[in-house]
Amino acid sequence: MNQAKPEVVPIAAPPTGKKNILIVTNDSEVTTSNKLESAGELYGGRVTEIREFVKSLESEFGEEGEDTMNVSFGLITTFFGFVPSNYSISKYKYVMGNKEEYQITQNERDYAGRLEYVSRGFDKVILCVPKEMFRILVDNDALHKGKIIAVTSKEFRGLCEENDWIFLERKGARLGKKNAAKIKDHLRGFAEDKS
pLDDT at 12: 59
Structural domain contains residue 5: no
134 alpha carbon, distance to own chain's centre: 10
Structural domain contains residue 135: yes
Structural domain contains residue 195: no
**Closest Cα partner for 13 from 88, 113, 125?**
125
Domain count, the chain: 1
DSSP of 90-145, one letter per residue? ---S----SHHHHHHHHHHH-HHHHHHHHHTT-SEEEEE--HHHHHHHHHTT-S-T
Distance CA 144, CA 165 (A): 9
CATH number (domain holding residue 72): 3.40.50
Structural domain contains residue 182: yes
Cβ-contact 89, 123 below 8 angstroms: no
pLDDT at 91: 82
pLDDT at 94: 85
Per-residue pLDDT tens over the stretch 28-37: 877 777 888 8
Distance CA 15, CA 23 (A): 20
Mean pLDDT for the stretch of residues 161-182: 94
Q: What domain range includes position 132?
A: 19-190
Cβ-contact 125, 119 below 8 angstroms: yes
Per-residue pLDDT tens over the stretch 71-125: 999 999 999 999 998 988 888 888 899 999 999 999 999 999 999 999 999 999 9
pTM: 0.89
